[in-house]
Each structure stands twice: as C-alpha cells, then as structure tokens.
Amino acid sequence: MGGGRQRLYSVNSDDYKLLEEVGYGASAVVHRAIYLPFNQVVAVKCLDLDRCNVNLDDIRREAQTMVLIDHPNVIKAFCSFVVDHNLWVVMPFMAEGSCLHLMKTAYPDGFEESAIGSILKDTLRALEYLHREGHIHRDVKAGNILLDSNGDIKLGDFGVSACMFDTGDRQRSRNTFVGTPCWMAPEVLQPGTGYDFKADIWSFGITALELAHGHAPFSKYPPMKVLLMTIQNAPPGLDYDRDKKFSKSFKEMVAMCLVKDQNKRPTAEKLLKHSFFKHTKPPALSVKKLFAGLPPLWDRVKALQLKDAAQLALKRMPSSEEEALSQTEYQRGVSEWNFDLEDLKFQASLVQDEDDIQESKEEDETTSYLNNIKEGSSSRQLGVESLSTNGITDSEQEHFADFPGSKSQEKGNMIKSDMVEFDRQVELKFLARRQTQSGPMMPGAFVSQSAFERARNVESLPESKQPLEKVQQVRRAPSFSGPLMLPKRASANSLSAPIKSSGGFGDFSEDKSKANLVQIRGRFSVTSENVDLVKDIPSGIVLRQSSQGLLKKSASVGNWIHESKIAPTAQPIREAGDNIIPASLLMPALQNLLHQISIQQDLIMNLLSSMQAVEVADASENGKLPSLLRNLENNGSVEAPASERERLLLIKISELQARMANLTEELNAERLRYMQLQQRLNLEAQENNGNSREFES
C-alpha cells in the first residue's frame, strides 16, 4: 500500500476518486480513494479548514512534516493540497482502520495481551523515531494507531503534532492545550510550565490501558472532570481484578509510563528495552487474526455511525445535530480543545456541584487550579502562557494526588492569596451566570455531557451549589467545639480521602493526611441550625466528646451527646425523682431531653447516609459495585469486603447501627421514665390538692 514512496503524486483533486468514508475525526473525514494515474488505493483525509482552529501556516507545516516522514510505523503523507475549504492529505490506505474502530466493532473490552504487545511495540518504535526527529506527536491514542490487513501498524494523525526544535510562535504552541483529554499528560494540563516529548509517553501509557480495557480511563466523564481527575488522582494503572489476566511486566511497563513527574518517565528508546517488549510476537501473528471474518472497514464504519446515531436518537437530544457532533467526538476522542470557554467554566462548576459540595473552599487548591484554567482559557485554544503566572509546580501537583492510593503524601499549602481572590471572583461570576441562565447550556463544538446528565446537573444546581460565602460561613461556624476535623478533599474524586477521627468515633481509616485536615475550634452546641449544618458536612465529621457533659451519658450516647441547653434542665430531672420540683418546671426539661435525643438520632442518620454516599461515589469511580451498600441492604449477609477501607467502613457502619439501636432503646426508656414521672407528678399534684382542700375545710 505504501509503495508510492518514490512516486510523485499529483495535487489535482480530479486525479483522485473518493470512495467510501472509512473514518471521521473532529475536523476531518477520511475516504478510501483511488489515485487514478497509478490505479492505487489510497486514503484521503479531507480536513475542513473552517473547523480547524489552527492557522493555515501550521497546517501546511504539519502536512509537510507528514511528507518527510520515513518510518515503517509512522503514516507518511504522499502529498497534500487545498480543495475549496478543505485540505486534502493523501496517505497510504490502512485497510483495517484504527485500533479504536476495531475495538468498537469487535473487542469492546479490549484486546488480548499478545496483540497489545505487538501494537504497543510498533507504536513505541514510531514514537522513538518521531522524538529522535524532534517531533512530539501529542495525540497518541488507539484512534490514531492504524492497522493494515497484513497486520502492519502505523501511528497516524499529525493534526496536532509539534516540533520540539521550533522557536517563536511555533514553540509557544507547546504551551498550549492540545491533545485529547483522557490521554493528556498532567503537565500538559498544568499552567505555565510547558511540556516535552515525555507527554507522548504518558499518552502511550493511557493508550496501553485503552487497548487493555476497550476504553481510556475516565472516558465516561466530561472533559473538565477528566482534566481534574488526571491532575488529582493517582495515575491509572492495571490494578483492578479484571486486570489479573495481564502479565506483571505489562503492568510494570504501563506504570513506568504513567508517572506524574515527566522527568521520571522513560524515553521511548528506553521503554523499548523493557522486558514486556522482549517477547512480543510479530503483528502478522498476533494482530492479523483480530480482523479475521470481519466485514470491510467501510461497512464497519457505517455500522458504527448508525449505532452512534441510534444511541443519540434514543437519548432524544434537544439539538440533535450539535449533540451528535459532540457526543461522537467525545466518545471517539477529540484532538483539539476547541470548545467554548463558557462551557468549560460551566462544566467545571458542575463538576464541583456534584461532588465537592463539602470542600473547604479556602483550602481548596483544586478550585484555585481550576480557576487558573478558567482564567487562561480566554482564547479558543487555551494558551497556557495566558493561564497564570502562578504555575503549579510538580510537588504541588503531587500534592493534588494526596489521598489514599496516591503515590505522594507530600503536603504543603499551595493556595496563593491572589489565586484565592481570583477564585472568588470567578465563582461569583459563575453564580451570576447560573442565576441568569442566559444563553444555551452547552453550546460549542465540544460538549461531552449527555442530555440526561445535563438535565440532572441543571436540576441539581439550586440545591447543590451553595454560594461560596455561605459555604465558608458554614465551615467556620464558631459553634463547633473541639477539633472538628474535615478532610481536606482535593476534589470530588477524593471522596475516598481518609477520614480523621477523634474521640469516641474511633479510628476510621489510616491516617495519612494529618496536614490535610482543617481544625475548627470552638464550642459545639447542637441546635437545629447545627443539624442542618451537619448535613452539609462530609462523612468525615467527627464530633468531639463533651468533657463536662452535665447530662448523664450512656455508653451508646457517649461521645455524641452535647452539652448546651441540656445543662440547666438536667439537674431538675434528678431532683424530680426526689419529689422536689414541680411538674411545671419538669415538663419542659423532659421535652427538651426528648428533642435532643431525636436530634442525635437525625445526626447519626445523616452520618450514615453520607458514608453510604462515599461508598457509592467510590464504587462508581472505581467501576466496582457498591458492595458496602449491597451488604447493608442484605441485612448483614456480608460478603468479603474488597478492600481494607471497605472493611473499616463496614465496621464503622455496624458500630453506628449498634449505637443507633441503643439510642432508640434509650429514647424509649426515657419516654417511659418521662411518662412515669408525669403520672407520679399528677398523683402528687392531686394529693397536694386534696391535702390543701382538706386543710382549707
């Protein structure tokens, strides 16, 4: 197919007969075509220049780069030329299309390891060549790894590649967000610092996971969330049960690529020497068999298009055309961050709405970071040089990942005052935007949320999103007593953050994050207002043991019981037993007692449900079943918990359940006592009345 290397191809479109569509991207459609003078099958990529955000010079340069390519594992361009508003790039036709298409058609859960090994090895060879030649590919993903019918593997799509040796404007493009969100390296998302060819190694690692699972990590999330998760989360890997089938050397190789510190990532050259690639089979043996029996590429592509269209129709999109575009783009991966700035902001705010309501704003480095991005994304292509002068360093980035499972436990206060101020302003702007609800919800070329998600998010806005000031007030509520420890969560995703416990609440999980805890000191008095407030607090809330509680506490109430308000009424209860206090004084005290007990009950219920929410969030993020909830629902028929954390949660929940049962018992006992006292008081009152009448008479 690629035998035209020495030949000259004409730049006259009439010499090409476009046949079936065999692929489509964010800005291009690829056709199988015949180059008439040679009667040769080629591929013609028709790039819609109106839909590209890059300037013509850049495109021309990319096309020239492709023409100069000379490596068996990199797609070269035979020639390129402009036809109307399109740039045509003529390339060798890769008859089996991309790995992504193949997975979508026949391997939704990914390929077997031997095929993955061959595909990755040739891709790595391509990267090694490109890096040696001074290029960063910047869009390594399964959708850009092309397969030929003999099993040949080539890395394609230079639509966004950058030249490492370029200077000036071109060099600046390396400080620009380019790539596909799920595959983008953390440093590419990090303001100010720029990146180098190691970004391709990260994308390569993500591609390995994509080939192993059938999709890239975080691919179900909207781009803004992907961005945050890439920065905050521990790097993804082959760590789940479903990955048991993969070899240790494969897992190790992937882990080497997905290191957040780009300096610690190996070069392509070094990676090629990894043991995983030592015994890979030739693609003709491991890859060719993957397409045995499949219909021709164009039929598969058509079927996929129909499937996408059917799915979209089912979802009943409000604006089907726009949605069709965005959904398809998101599912298959998009090469340029060309979405609307306002959408980006809005999506970012939604991400927080959903998951981070409990975050302590002033401690929230994520939001500051996010707002750096918001600030910088004033150009369509999110030039990082304009993002912020407050570049986030590697160590700070590692700090983001500071939650269980994270490789770094580095601590530090990274919030800078100007960022906080900016944070606030952006937040207020968002709130204003939300209130006015002006403009379309998700316009622009790139919208990743489904209509359902949108509706849900929009519906949840008024309740879920508290104004910043209110949240801050809540966090600083002076009525809390004792060290009230809120986990300083980096984000939605860190719902699994360790929960610092104190007092009678017991140790909840391993304490890895002392510096991540906010301590709020002051007196703790439960009022109905506080109960509402407690609802806002994540499951990590720990109420301090009352050291001088005047109310006699039982073990079950123990550390939960609080002081105020009860104090003046507690003494009379005891005295009432000695028939000293009149009923009129005793009644309010008893009523108060009842009220307090039911508040405590509510409190426990709130904590239970927030713990359950944590479990659900964790489960959905980890792709695991929410077994904790399942166990609870099964009324104690507990299956073996999947992790230490889950085991601890189960123990904690059973403890809470036991406490609640005790509390309920106690409440009933108090009720009984109250009624007995009431009867006694009534009797005494009657006796007193009788006595006084006798006395009077």
Ligand X SMILES: Nc1ncnc2c1ncn2[C@@H]1O[C@H](COP(=O)(O)OP(=O)(O)OP(=O)(O)O)[C@@H](O)[C@H]1O
Binding ligand X by CB under 6 A: which of 90, 127, 140, 146?
Answer: 146
Interaction of residue 136 with ligand X, rule CB under 6 A: no
d(CA 401, CA 494): 9
Binding ligand X by CB under 6 A: which of 191, 222, 333, 626?
Answer: 333
Q: Which of these ranges, 10-18, 151-159, 562-570, 678-686, lies near ligand X under the rule CB under 6 A?
A: 151-159
Taking the complex as a whole, the smallest distance from the CB of residue 189 to ligand X amounts, in Å, to 18
By CB under 6 A, the residues from 255 to 284 that bind ligand X are: none
Nearer to ligand X, 28 or 253 (CB): 28
How big is the site for ligand X, counted in residues (CB under 6 A)? Answer: 29
Q: Which residues have a Cβ under 8 Å from the Cβ of 236 and sit 6 or more positions away?
A: 206, 209, 217, 218, 258
Nearer to ligand X, 203 or 368 (CB): 203
Closest-CA residue to 153 (of 129, 118, 183): 118
Residue 519 β-bridge partners: 485
d(CA 344, CA 326): 14
Q: Which of these ranges, 155-163, 239-247, 361-369, 486-494, lies near ligand X under the rule CB under 6 A?
A: 155-163
Q: Which residues have a Cβ under 8 Å from the Cβ of 509 and sit 6 or more positions away?
A: 404, 498, 499, 645, 648
Nearer to ligand X, 328 or 606 (CB): 328
Site string for ligand X, 44-83 (x = CB under 6 A): -x-----------------------------x--------
Taking the complex as a whole, the smallest distance from the CB of residue 100 to ligand X amounts, in Å, to 6
Taking the complex as a whole, the smallest distance from the CB of residue 446 to ligand X amounts, in Å, to 11
The SS3 assignment for 268 reads helix
Mapped to the 3 state alphabet, what secondary structure does 370-389 carry? HHHHHHHCCCCCCEHHHCCC
Q: Which of these ranges, 90-98, 308-316, 539-547, 682-690, lies near ligand X under the rule CB under 6 A?
A: 90-98
Q: Is residue 564 within 8 Å of residue 549, measured between CB atoms?
A: no
The residue behind tokens 């490789």 is 407
Binding ligand X by CB under 6 A: which of 62, 113, 128, 157?
Answer: 157
Question: Could you write out the DSSP letters of every residue in 103-119?
Answer: HHHH-TT---HHHHHHH
Residue 154 β-bridge partners: 146
Residue type at position 180: T
Q: Which of these ranges, 136-144, 205-213, 312-320, 467-475, lies near ligand X under the rule CB under 6 A?
A: 136-144
Interaction of residue 99 with ligand X, rule CB under 6 A: no
Interaction of residue 159 with ligand X, rule CB under 6 A: yes
Interaction of residue 660 with ligand X, rule CB under 6 A: no
Nearer to ligand X, 208 or 259 (CB): 208
Mapped to the 3 state alphabet, what secondary structure does 41-67 carry? EEEEEEEEHHHCCCCHHHHHHHHHHHH
Closest-CA residue to 102 (of 230, 285, 272, 288): 288
Site string for ligand X, 10-39 (x = CB under 6 A): ------------xxxxxxx-x---------
Q: Is residue 670 within 8 Å of residue 594, measured between CB atoms?
A: yes
Tokens read off for 204: 């390569």
What does the chain come to in residues?
697
Question: Could you write out the DSSP letters of every residue in 233-278?
Answer: SPPP-S-SGGGGGS-HHHHHHHHHH--SSGGGSPPHHHHHTSGGGT
Taking the complex as a whole, the smallest distance from the CB of residue 62 to ligand X amounts, in Å, to 10
Residue 136 β-bridge partners: 162
Interaction of residue 144 with ligand X, rule CB under 6 A: yes
The number of beta carbons lying within 10 Å of the beta carbon of residue 681 is 18
Taking the complex as a whole, the smallest distance from the CB of residue 318 to ligand X amounts, in Å, to 24
d(CA 272, CA 260): 20
Residue 34 β-bridge partners: 17, 41
Of the residues 15, 57, 139, 418, only one is catalytic, namely 139
Closest-CA residue to 582 (of 678, 695, 693): 678
139 among known catalytic residues? yes
d(CA 65, CA 74): 11
Tokens read off for 348: 């970012």
Nearer to ligand X, 92 or 222 (CB): 92
Taking the complex as a whole, the smallest distance from the CB of residue 143 to ligand X amounts, in Å, to 4
Residue 45 labeled ligand binder: yes
Q: Which of these ranges, 154-162, 218-226, 240-248, 574-582, lies near ligand X under the rule CB under 6 A?
A: 154-162
Interaction of residue 137 with ligand X, rule CB under 6 A: no
Interaction of residue 659 with ligand X, rule CB under 6 A: no
Interaction of residue 626 with ligand X, rule CB under 6 A: no
CA-to-CA dists, residue 250 to 236, 285, 582, angstroms: 14, 19, 79
Q: Which of these ranges, 127-135, 153-161, 276-284, 610-618, lies near ligand X under the rule CB under 6 A?
A: 153-161
Q: Which of these ranges, 89-97, 223-231, 507-515, 673-681, lies near ligand X under the rule CB under 6 A?
A: 89-97
Tokens read off for 497: 């953050």
d(CA 265, CA 420): 32
Taking the complex as a whole, the smallest distance from the CB of residue 159 to ligand X amounts, in Å, to 4
Nearer to ligand X, 243 or 298 (CB): 298
Binding ligand X by CB under 6 A: which of 334, 370, 442, 447?
Answer: 334
Taking the complex as a whole, the smallest distance from the CB of residue 222 to ligand X amounts, in Å, to 17
Rounded to the nearest 5 degrees, what angle is found at the Cα of 59, between the Cα atoms of 53 and 63? 150
The residue behind tokens 């403009």 is 439
d(CA 363, CA 502): 21
Nearer to ligand X, 323 or 356 (CB): 323
Taking the complex as a whole, the smallest distance from the CB of residue 102 to ligand X amounts, in Å, to 9
The phi, psi pair for 48, rounded to 5°, reads -75, 105
Binding ligand X by CB under 6 A: which of 93, 177, 524, 674?
Answer: 93
Which residues carry a binding-site annotation for ATP?
45
The footprint of ligand X (CB under 6 A) covers 22-28, 30, 43, 45, 75, 91-94, 97-98, 100-101, 139, 143-144, 146, 156-157, 159, 333-335
| Catalytic residue list | 139
Query: Known binding site: residues?
Result: 45
